[in-house]
Amino acid sequence: MSDLLRLATAGSVDDGKSTLVGRLLYDTKSVLADTLDAVHRASADRGLATPDLSLLVDGLRSEREQGITIDVAYRYFATPKRSFVLADTPGHVQYTRNTVTGASTAQLGVLLVDARKGVVEQTRRHAAVLALLGVPRLVLAVNKIDLVGFDQPTFARIAKEFTAHATALGYAEDAVVEIPVSALAGDNVVERSDRTPWYTGPTLLEHLETVPVEPDPHDAPFRFPVQYVIRPRTPEHPDYRGYAGLVAAGTVRVGDEVAVLPNGLRSTVTGIDTADGPLDEAAAGQSVTLLLEHDLDISRGDLIAAAAVPPTVTDELDATVCWLSEKPLAPGARVLVKHGTRTVQAMVTELRTRFDEQRLASTDAPASLALNEIGQVAVRTAEPIPVDDYTRNRRTGSFLVIDAADGSTLAAGLVGAPLPVLDGIDNDAADGHALVSPGP
Amino acid sequence: MTTTALDTLGRLESEAIHIFREVAGEFDRPVILFSGGKDSTLLLHLAIKAFWPAPVPFPLLHVDTGHNFDEVIEFRDRVVARHGLRLEVARVQDYIDDGRLAERPDGTRNPLQTVPLLDAITGHRFDAVFGGGRRDEERARAKERIFSLRNSFGQWEPRRQRPELWNLYNGRHRPGEHVRVFPLSNWTELDVWHYIAREGIELPSIYYAHHREVYLRDGMWLAEGPWGGPREGERLVGKTVRYRTVGDGSCTGAVESDAADIEAVIAEVAASRLTERGATRADDRLSEAAMEDRKREGYF
């Protein structure tokens, strides 16, 4: 079992997400005394009778003033069983892009709903974003269960509706778990609640401690974006020439035959160096320096890959983009694409579809993509780049779309169509599905 | 050797090395902020590993408040010499001497570092500035990106932060802007100490228990020094103490401790019920959003 779980939270405004995260930190004793004192003082200053746990996490001045979370924050906590990196993302519609940020590295998504409101538009949107970004597992925390009198049928109805939505997004049923909680009172977050005797599943923390974590795929084809060429030119190392980078996927061993892309040259790995000494092999996640048999012209931006299973080298990409900028995307837009360690000029030649996360359907050829919209596009790059499909490799299948003028990040790009299952969904059937919130 | 999944420290080390190499590949004039404290010493250790066997391709910058612990300055200079590095120093004292900055009534110089820091960045045209900040230190720091864009006034604008996706860092910036880079973002205080132990990294001696004359102010044990203490009514007493952070002497407190070696320090940090900043940094107590306010001004 992995000792680390990376998770991202998501949920609508006022669903109590910051309180849930605060509760998780508080009940796992991850909050130290002085921090807690500060929260007690700040809560008292606001005239509150009990400490407002959301103040543990809402750190920005305007967040505390408005009582909402504006920006994604990262929290670290640990139990004897596991360490956790939690991306705490805002629920407000205008900050959905931060959900994309949190989801890009998450192994599990925790979605929150208010038990009085059930599954709402934001829940469906966030679940779709998590599915698209390849987050392997979901938890639905049905919060404020105390405010519906710990009513089992209410929970069951919400759980059923959410399961239907998640499975339509491609999740297996065992990858999705619903838990009735009260973040404010602490029911079923860390401590098991005796007020939900009908619930026999794990508490949120028990689930986080035991949920399987998909490991980095060491048996995937080897991928290594070259970050930097190390050439000391010192008396001790006059001829040293190493290619520094982080193994993005798979495993490399001394003696392996590799291809250097995009130019396609071949060589053999003669050494794997680190400052702590040479290795026989290196696997996904390791920063190393590769030495090759031939003196090739390799520089930052190249990709060293398993010669037998190379990625596709192309200058015509089919991709899905999550548009993260206020400036809308129109066909013909000139942008920069950062893929691995290479940044190339590119043009979005065609907007093919726009994904409607409410109806789980795609509409044809939109005129533009606005902030927070997701669509499939065609991209032409000024030079060929070596890519994998996102569903096969989250590292070499992902790219940034960058504004060449001001440098801002415009979009998250995913090679291919990571939600292919949706193409087969019959819209009428989706409408007929209980996907409409029953309301309070 | 057989490689399986990396352990936590191995994963954090790999990530930090990746960040150093990204900056080396994408920026023209990076610099590492180096105070001689444990986080910047760790930063330098990781930079050396990232480019081995080549030298670190960046200079160091120390913003010197003038209120230093002698042991730390001695350590700083020794480390710089040992690795053949270039050190730039921006001195708060110079600014006070020529009137560009005024001494604060409370005597602390930590907030005064911002102007010399920004001037040094502009003067040397540094475009990437590495810092040892960690997200576990403070709520506002928890919101910080690993690549954090600063405008031409050096300001952090939390509402305009770029989304940071996968491990694809966007270092684009316009002339005059720069990027603060935080390779230790995902480390906790305990990770830092475990790694220092694992790698055998030398630190200034004040991190370990020693005898020192200190006086009590606002619940913190401060050392005697040029920063104006003890004042009337404050009495020097001999204590066995150590430091959890190293900063301006006027606002960095010592903690009573017998932890004289690294194993004892790790045990103490693991058992502590106080954060390192809450325990020993007066400047973070000024207001609920003290850190955010200083970062908005351009502070680290």
Buried b (16+ CB within 10 A) or exposed e, A56-70: bbbbbbebbeeebbb
The domain that contains A138 carries what CATH number?
3.40.50.300
Task: Identify whether the C-beta of residue B237 lies closer than 8 Å to the C-beta of residue B215.
Answer: yes
Task: Identify whether the C-beta of residue B117 lies closer than 8 Å to the C-beta of residue B137.
Answer: no
**B237 interfaces chain A, CB cutoff of 8 Å:** no
Query: Is B234's pLDDT higher than 80?
Result: yes
In this prediction, residue A58 carries a pLDDT of: 65
* Range with lowest mean pLDDT among A429-433, B118-122, B125-129: A429-433
Query: Is A282's pLDDT higher than 90?
Result: yes
Judged by CB atoms closer than 8 Å, whether chains meet at B158 and A251 is answered as no
In a domain, A388, yes or no: yes
Alpha-carbon distance of B177 to B122, in angstroms, equals 9
What proportion of chain A, given as a percentage, has pLDDT over 70? Answer: 88
**Mean pLDDT across the stretch A375-397?**
94
Highest mean pLDDT among A233-237, A358-362, A388-392, B126-130: B126-130
Alpha-carbon distance of B110 to B64, in angstroms, equals 10
Alpha-carbon distance of A153 to A142, in angstroms, equals 12
> Between residues B140 and A428, which one has the greater pLDDT?
B140
**Mean pLDDT across the stretch A54-59?**
69
Q: Are residues A168 and A235 in the same domain?
A: no
Query: Is B138's pLDDT higher than 60?
Result: yes
Look at residues A58, A415, A363 and name the one whose alpha carbon lies nearest to residue B140: A58
Closest partner residue to B6 (CB to CB) among A83, A237, A285 is A285
In this prediction, residue A299 carries a pLDDT of: 95
pLDDT digits (tens, 9 = 90+) for A225-272: 999 999 999 899 999 999 999 999 999 999 999 999 999 999 999 999
**B240 interfaces chain A, CB cutoff of 8 Å:** no
Query: What are the φ/ψ torsions at residue A312 (nearest 5 degrees)?
Result: -80, 130
* Range with lowest mean pLDDT among A157-161, A387-391, B186-190: B186-190
Residue in A with minimal Cα distance to B164: A101
Judged by CB atoms closer than 8 Å, whether chains meet at A60 and B14 is answered as no
Residues from chain A that touch B276, judged by Cβ atoms under 8 A, are: none
Q: If pLDDT is split at 50, 70 and 90, which confidence band does B1 have?
A: very low
Alpha-carbon distance of B185 to A72, in angstroms, equals 14
| Paired sense of beta strands A4-11 and A223-225, if any | unpaired
Q: How many domains does chain A have?
A: 3
Q: If pLDDT is split at 50, 70 and 90, which confidence band does B249 have?
A: confident
What ipTM score was computed for the predicted complex, to two decimals? 0.89
In this prediction, residue A426 carries a pLDDT of: 40
Q: Which structural domain range is residue A158 located in?
A: 3-214
* Rounded alpha-carbon distances, angstroms, from residue A89 to A103, A136, A325, A360: 9, 18, 17, 23
Q: If pLDDT is split at 50, 70 and 90, which confidence band does B246 have?
A: confident
Give the number of other Cβ atoms within 10 Å of residue B271's Cβ: 7
Residue in B with minimal Cα distance to A31: B273
H or E segment and range at residue A384: strand A374-387
Q: Are residues A103 and A149 in the same domain?
A: yes
Task: Identify whether the C-beta of residue A211 lies closer than 8 Å to the C-beta of residue A5.
Answer: yes
Give the number of other Cβ atoms within 10 Å of residue A305's Cβ: 26
In this prediction, residue A2 carries a pLDDT of: 59
Look at residues A208, A240, A216, A168 and name the one whose alpha carbon lies nearest to residue A78: A208
Mean pLDDT of chain A: 87
In a domain, A435, yes or no: no
Q: Are residues A229 and A365 in the same domain?
A: no
Query: Is B71's pLDDT higher than 70?
Result: yes
Closest partner residue to A33 (CB to CB) among B143, B168, B273 is B273
Structure tokens of B124?
């040397």
Q: If pLDDT is split at 50, 70 and 90, which confidence band does B68 have?
A: confident
Q: Are residues A66 and A135 in the same domain?
A: yes
Query: What are the φ/ψ torsions at residue A9 (nearest 5 degrees)?
Result: -95, 155
Query: Edge-to-edge, what's the strand order for the sheet holding A303-306?
Result: A223-225, A303-306, A257-261, A265-273, A287-292, A242-246, A228-230
Q: If pLDDT is split at 50, 70 and 90, which confidence band does B299 have?
A: low
pLDDT digits (tens, 9 = 90+) for B146-177: 999 998 888 888 777 888 999 999 999 998 89
Residue in B with minimal Cα distance to A36: B274
Domain final position from A283, A306, A329? A306
**B151 interfaces chain A, CB cutoff of 8 Å:** no
| Paired sense of beta strands A4-11 and A108-114, if any | parallel
* Range with lowest mean pLDDT among A213-217, A395-399, B233-237, B292-296: B292-296
Buried b (16+ CB within 10 A) or exposed e, A98-118: bbbbbbbbbbbbbbbbbbebb
Q: If pLDDT is split at 50, 70 and 90, which confidence band does A435 have?
A: very low
Give me the sign of the Cα torsion angle B110, B116, B119, B120.
negative
What are the start-end ranges of the H helices in chain B?
A: 8-26, 38-51, 70-82, 92-97, 114-123, 189-199, 262-271, 276-280, 290-297
In this prediction, residue B230 carries a pLDDT of: 83
Q: Are residues A193 and A165 in the same domain?
A: yes
Q: Are residues A17 and A125 in the same domain?
A: yes
Angle at which helix B8-26 crosses helix B38-51, to 10 degrees, equals 70
Judged by CB atoms closer than 8 Å, whether chains meet at B25 and A98 is answered as no
> Between residues A43 and B65, which one has the greater pLDDT?
B65
Query: Is B284's pLDDT higher than 60?
Result: no
In this prediction, residue A188 carries a pLDDT of: 97
* Rounded alpha-carbon distances, angstroms, from residue A64 to A247, B27, B143: 40, 36, 14
- Burial class of B107 by CB neighbour count within 10 A (0 to 12, 13 to 18, 19+): middle
* Rounded alpha-carbon distances, angstroms, from residue B114 to A214, B90, B140, B180, B290: 44, 10, 17, 14, 14
Q: Are residues A291 and A200 in the same domain?
A: no
pLDDT digits (tens, 9 = 90+) for B39-61: 999 999 999 999 999 999 999 99
Q: Are residues A347 and A399 in the same domain?
A: yes
Q: Are residues A121 and A193 in the same domain?
A: yes
Domain final position from A152, A180, A214? A214
* Range with lowest mean pLDDT among A85-94, A181-190, B99-108: A85-94
In a domain, A26, yes or no: yes
Mean pLDDT of chain B: 87
**B contact residues 13-72, partner A, Cβ 8 Å cutoff:** 13-15, 17-18, 21-22, 24-25, 48-55
Judged by CB atoms closer than 8 Å, whether chains meet at B11 and A285 is answered as yes
Q: Are residues A175 and A95 in the same domain?
A: yes
Closest partner residue to A412 (CB to CB) among B165, B278, B293 is B165
Look at residues B132, B131, B158 and name the one whose alpha carbon lies nearest to residue B143: B158
Structure tokens of B12?
């954090």
In a domain, A71, yes or no: yes
Query: What are the φ/ψ torsions at residue B210 (nearest 5 degrees)?
Result: -155, 165
Please name the residue that has the structure tokens 């020993």: B280
In a domain, A433, yes or no: no
Closest partner residue to A104 (CB to CB) among B8, B53, B166 is B166
In a domain, A422, yes or no: no
The answer to whether the peptide bond before residue B53 is cis (omega within 30 degrees of 0) is yes
Residues from chain A that touch B279, judged by Cβ atoms under 8 A, are: 34
Alpha-carbon distance of B50 to A45, in angstroms, equals 48
Closest partner residue to A101 (CB to CB) among B10, B48, B164 is B164
Query: Is A438's pLDDT higher than 60?
Result: no
**Mean pLDDT across the stretch A356-373?**
82
In a domain, A132, yes or no: yes
In this prediction, residue A434 carries a pLDDT of: 30
In this prediction, residue B184 carries a pLDDT of: 96
Q: Are residues A190 and A255 in the same domain?
A: no
Look at residues B260, B215, B245 and name the one whose alpha carbon lies nearest to residue B233: B215
> A398 to chain B, minimum CA–CA distance in Å?
8
Query: Is A56's pLDDT higher than 90?
Result: no
Domain final position from A168, A197, A214? A214
Residues 6+ apart with CB under 8 A from B225: B67, B249, B250
In this prediction, residue A93 carries a pLDDT of: 56
Alpha-carbon distance of A433 to A367, in angstroms, equals 29
Closest partner residue to B21 (CB to CB) among A70, A228, A283 is A228
Residues from chain A that touch B52, judged by Cβ atoms under 8 A, are: 230, 273-275
Alpha-carbon distance of A228 to A48, in angstroms, equals 54
Q: If pLDDT is split at 50, 70 and 90, which confidence band does A430 have?
A: very low
Q: Are residues A231 and A366 in the same domain?
A: no
Alpha-carbon distance of A161 to A138, in angstroms, equals 14
Q: If pLDDT is split at 50, 70 and 90, which confidence band does A61 have?
A: low
> A378 to chain B, minimum CA–CA distance in Å?
21
Please name the residue that has the structure tokens 């190392």: A237
Q: What is the pTM of this model?
A: 0.90
In a domain, A291, yes or no: yes
The domain that contains A400 carries what CATH number?
2.40.30.10
**B contact residues 152-211, partner A, Cβ 8 Å cutoff:** 158-159, 161-168, 170, 172-174, 185-186, 188
**Mean pLDDT across the stretch B119-133?**
95
| Paired sense of beta strands A108-114 and A137-143, if any | parallel
Alpha-carbon distance of B69 to B65, in angstroms, equals 11
Amino acid type, A327: K
Q: If pLDDT is split at 50, 70 and 90, which confidence band does B185 have?
A: very high
